[in-house]
């Protein structure tokens, strides 16, 4: 059942992915002083801004593509998922592509496992072109499949990364991996 859930989630997210021309900014989104942190590869301010933006959306539970959502528990940062997200964002930036399959063909389930995350549920959002955390989260909230993924109560942890590539097609590449660990 979990593999089916993962495959369906990945298929929906891949169908929903688009670059900056295909993503619509959402008015009244998450923008605020704590989430306007610029794209940064990895630092405390970036992690704190991601936690704040994602948990604000999860507690507010906006509609995703017209579908009413319920508030869900907050997410906690996972260093292992952060490592997997960072590797994928760097891969997309270094190879100038946007997608769920890496340049080596690996998908989120394999990347998370290879980073040492023993997962019960796993999902991923990718994006490109957003200049800061608030804009990236707003773009995902504007995409029904990405929005449902971020507001999925099956996930309790996440890792995220953004990598700048000024000479690339999009300029910035974002990866958000959401997960729920295996019970201990």
Q: Tell me: the pLDDT tens digits for 142-180? A: 999 999 999 999 999 999 999 999 999 999 999 999 999
- Residue with the larger pLDDT of the pair 142 and 16: 142
Torsions phi, psi of 140, nearest 5? -65, -35
Question: Is the pLDDT reported for residue 60 higher than 60?
Answer: yes
Closest CA to 87 of 41, 149, 156, 19: 41
pLDDT level of residue 38 (50, 70, 90 thresholds): confident
What tens digit of pLDDT does each residue of 77-98 get? Answer: 999 999 999 999 999 999 999 9
Residue 173 DSSP SS3: strand
Q: How many Cα atoms are found within 13 Å in the side-chain-facing hemisphere of 29?
A: 25
Residue 13's pLDDT is what?
Answer: 38
- Alpha-carbon span 182 to 184, nearest angstrom: 6
- What was the pLDDT predicted at 26? 32
């Amino acid at each position: 059942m979990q593999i089916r859930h993962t495959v369906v989630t990945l298929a929906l997210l891949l169908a929903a992915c688009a670059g900056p021309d295909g993503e619509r900014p959402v008015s009244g989104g998450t923008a605020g002083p704590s989430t306007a942190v610029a794209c940064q590869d990895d630092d405390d301010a970036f992690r704190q801004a991601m936690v704040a933006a994602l948990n604000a959306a999860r507690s507010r539970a906006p509609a995703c593509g017209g579908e009413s959502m319920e508030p869900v528990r907050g997410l906690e940062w996972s260093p292992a998922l952060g490592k997997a997200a960072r590797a994928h964002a760097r891969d997309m930036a270094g190879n100038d592509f946007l997608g769920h399959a890496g340049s080596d063909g690996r998908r989120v389930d394999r990347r998370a496992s290879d980073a040492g995350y023993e997962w019960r549920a796993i999902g991923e959002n990718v994006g490109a072109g957003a200049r800061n955390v608030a804009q990236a989260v707003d773009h995902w909230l504007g995409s029904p499949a990405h929005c449902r993924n971020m507001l999925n109560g099956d996930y309790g942890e996440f890792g995220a990364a953004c990598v700048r590539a000024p000479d690339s097609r999009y300029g910035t590449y974002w990866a958000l991996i959401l997960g729920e660990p295996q019970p201990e």
